[in-house]
Amino acid sequence: MRRLRLERRLSQRQLASRGVSYAYISRIESGQRSPSVHAIRLLARRLGVTPEYLETGVDIAPVEELELRLTDAELRLRLGDHSADARHALQAVLKEAQRAGESEIAVRAQIALGLSSLAAGTQREAARYLATAVASPLTSPGTHANVFISFSKALRFLGRADEAAKMLEDALDDLGSQTPEAAGVGLRLATYLSYALTDLGQFERARSVLEDIDAGVALDPHRQVTIHWSLARLAYMEGQPRAALREIRRAIIVLDHTEDSLELARAHLFAAEVHLWAGNVPEAERHLALAARLESLAADARDLGALHSCQALAHARRGDCERARGLIERAREELADAPAEQGLLWLAQGLIEATRDDLDAAPRSFEQAIDALAASGMHREAAAVCREWSQLLRDVGRSEEAAETAKRAAQLIENADAKVAGQMR
C-alpha cells in the first residue's frame, strides 16, 4: 500500500477517506494493523487497483490465479516434463480447485495428472486420475478423445483390456454425429478398441471394428498409418507374421513422408519385435537402430520398456550378456506395473543364464517368460520359448525335461489355434 501511495504521490492524509483515517493508514503501513475487508476495498478504489492486488500483490482473482498455475503446469507437460515436481504442482492445483468448487479446473488438472502419470510409467495412478476425468460430464469423446485413448492404454497396460474395450465401445456410441471431425475421432477410438479386443483374443471382432470404418476416412496419410498399424497388430496376434510385416512396412513408407518421428520409431520397434521372434536378429537390429530415437522423443514408459526389452533380447541372442543385463534392469523398472509385458525380459534373462551354464536359475526365467507371454495372449511366442528351452535342455543331455517342455509348446500352439478358431466361428 505504501509503494502504491508513493507512486501516486499521495500523502496518508490525501489517501484517507471516511471510515479510513490517515492514522489507520499509518498503522497499516507500519505493520501494526491488518486492514479490514471494507478498508481494503476503499483503499484499492482510491489507489486504482483491484482489492485482490492490494491484498496479495497479484492483480487477478483467486480462480484466475489458479487457472494460470494450471496453464503453466500443462505447458510443462507439453514440453515433456513429467517429473515428480511437475506432478506435485498439478496435485496442488487439483486440491485447491476441489476445495473452491472449481470443477472445470479440477477436471483439467486430473487429465493433466493422468497424462503425465502415463508418460512417467505410473500406470495405476494414471488410470485413477483418467477414470475420474472420463466419468465427468465436462469430458466427452468428441472433445477429449485423447483422454479416452490414454485411459484405454493405462487399462490395457494393467491387464484390464476388458474394461478398456467396454469404455471405448461406449465412447463410440456416445460420439454420434458423423461429421468429418467425428469420423476422424471415431477412427482413433475404433483403432484402440481393436487393440483392446486383440488383447482379449477377440480377433474377429477387432477386424470387424476396423472394417466398419468409413473407407473415405483412410485417405488422410495419418489415418492410413492408423489402419495399417492396426491390421499389422491384428495379423501378428493371429499368427501371421508375414502379413504383419507387410502392413507395418506400408505404415513405415507413409510415415517416412510425414514429420511424425514418434510413430515412425514405434513402427520400427514393432517390426523389430516381429523379426526377433522369427529369429532374424540382423534385421531386428536394423529396425532397433531406427527405433532407438524413442529415447529422445516423447515416448512413454511402455514404449521405452518395449524398446529396451527388444534390445536386451537382441544382445542376449548375440551373446553380449553384459549389455543385455543392463538393458534388462532398465526395462524392468519401466514395465514394473505390467508383469504381463515382461516376457521378452525373462526370455533374455534365461538366455543369459543358459549361456553362462547357470541351469539352476535359467528354468525359472524361462517359466516366467512363458507365463508372461501366455498371460498377454501371446501363446505362439510362449510356445517358441518352450521350444527354445527344450532344445537347450536336449543339448545338455536332459532329454526327459526337454520332451516335457516340447509337449508344453505343442499344447500352447493348440490353445492358440483353438482360440482363433473360436473367434472365427
Residue 83: pLDDT band (50, 70, 90) is confident
Please state, as a whole number, how many other Cβ atoms lie within 10 Å of the Cβ of residue 56: 12
Residue 289 is predicted with a pLDDT of 95
pLDDT digits (tens, 9 = 90+) for 231-243: 888 888 877 888 8
The whole-number average pLDDT for the span 160-181 is: 83
Burial class (CB in 10 A: 0-12, 13-18, 19+), 292: middle
Tell me the three cell numbers of residue 375: 498371460
| Section 241-247 average pLDDT | 88
* Mean local confidence (pLDDT), 140-151: 92
User: Which residue type is seen at 215?
Assistant: A
Looking at the DSSP bridge assignments, the partners of residue 20 are: 17
What is the structure's pLDDT at 216? Answer: 47
The pLDDT of residue 193: 92
Q: How far, in Å, CA of 296 to CA of 397, rounded? A: 46
What is the identity of the amino acid at 131? Answer: A
> What does the alpha-carbon distance between residue 160 and residue 302 come to, in Å, rounded to a whole number?
15
Residue 90 in this model has a pLDDT that exceeds 70: yes
Identify the pLDDT of residue 424.
Answer: 44
Tens digits of residue pLDDT in 275-295: 999 889 999 999 999 999 999
For the entire predicted model, the pTM comes to 0.64
In this predicted structure, the answer to whether residue 177 has a pLDDT above a threshold of 70 is: no
Percentages of the chain per state (helix, strand, coil), in multiples of 5: 80, 0, 20
Tell me what the pLDDT averaged over the chain comes to.
Answer: 85
Cell 471494507, residue located: 38
Tens of pLDDT, residues 303-354:
999 999 999 999 999 989 999 999 999 999 988 877 778 899 999 999 998 8
* Nearby residues of 317 by Cβ (< 8 Å), 6 or more positions away: 276, 281, 351
CA distances from 10 to 39, 43, 159 (A): 17, 12, 69
Between 55 and 269, residue with greater pLDDT:
269
Report the range of poorest mean pLDDT among 108-112, 209-213, 300-304. Answer: 209-213
Cell output for 135:
466419468
* Cβ-based neighbour number of residue 392 at 10 Å: 21
Q: What is the DSSP string of 329-365?
A: HHHHHHTTT-GGG-HHHHHHHHHHHHHTT-TTTHHHH
End-to-end CA distance of the chain: 80
Task: Please tell me the predicted confidence (pLDDT) of residue 294.
Answer: 92
Q: Which three cell numbers stand for residue 303?
A: 514404449
